[in-house]
Amino acid sequence: MESMGSPAEKREHTRHPVKIPVTFRKMDESSKARTLQDLPGHVKSAQTLDSSLGGMFVVCDEPLKVGDLLSLKIKGPEAATPFSAFAEVAWVGPSGAGLQFLSVKKEDEARLESFLKSVGTQG
C-alpha cells in the first residue's frame, strides 16, 4: 500500500512562518443566520502559524473538521482592508488546521504574495 505522505510533501507553495490574525465563518453556519444581525455571532477568530499562496495553518478555539468550507478575512499588517478568501479544511491536527485556498481575488492574491515576500526577506 502506498503512503499518503505528510501535508508538507504535497505543497506547491513555500510556507512562511508568520502570525496573522484571521476571522472566518463556516459556510454551513452562515446559512443558519436568519438576518444580517445574526452573522457576527457566526464569525470566529484564529491566528496563522504559517501561510503561503496556497493556504495556511491556523490555530483557533473553534473545532474544525476536514471538508469544512470557510469564508476568511486575513488581516495583514498595514493593510487597510483584510484579504478575502474561501478555503477548505484540508487536514486537522492537535494544535490546529491546515487550510487550502479555494478562491482568492487576484488583487488579494497579489497583496498576499507581496506581504509573504516581505516576510521571507526579514531576519
In a domain, 105, yes or no: yes
Residue 99 maps to which CATH number?
2.40.10.220
In a domain, 5, yes or no: no
Give 3-state DSSP helix, strand, coil % of the chain, rounded to 5: 25, 40, 35
In a domain, 11, yes or no: no
Count how many domains the chain has: 1
In a domain, 85, yes or no: yes
The CA distance from 78 to 36, in Å, is 28
pLDDT score recorded for residue 121: 58
pLDDT score recorded for residue 46: 94
In a domain, 121, yes or no: no
**pTM for the model:** 0.79
In a domain, 86, yes or no: yes
- Residue by residue, pLDDT tens for the chain (123 residues) are 333 444 545 557 788 899 989 999 998 754 554 544 444 457 899 999 999 999 999 999 888 999 999 999 998 766 678 889 999 999 999 989 999 999 999 998 998 888 888 876 554
pLDDT score recorded for residue 54: 94
Burial grade of 123 (CB within 10 A; 0-12, 13-18, 19 or more): exposed
Helix, strand, or coil (residue 110): helix
Per-residue burial over 1-34, b = 16 or more CB atoms within 10 Å of its CB, e = otherwise: eeeeeeeeeeeeeebbebebebbbbbeebeeeee
pLDDT score recorded for residue 122: 54
pLDDT score recorded for residue 81: 82
Continuous H helices in 11-105: 27-30
**C-alpha 51: how far from chain center:** 8
In a domain, 24, yes or no: yes
Parent domain of 102 = 16-116
In a domain, 49, yes or no: yes
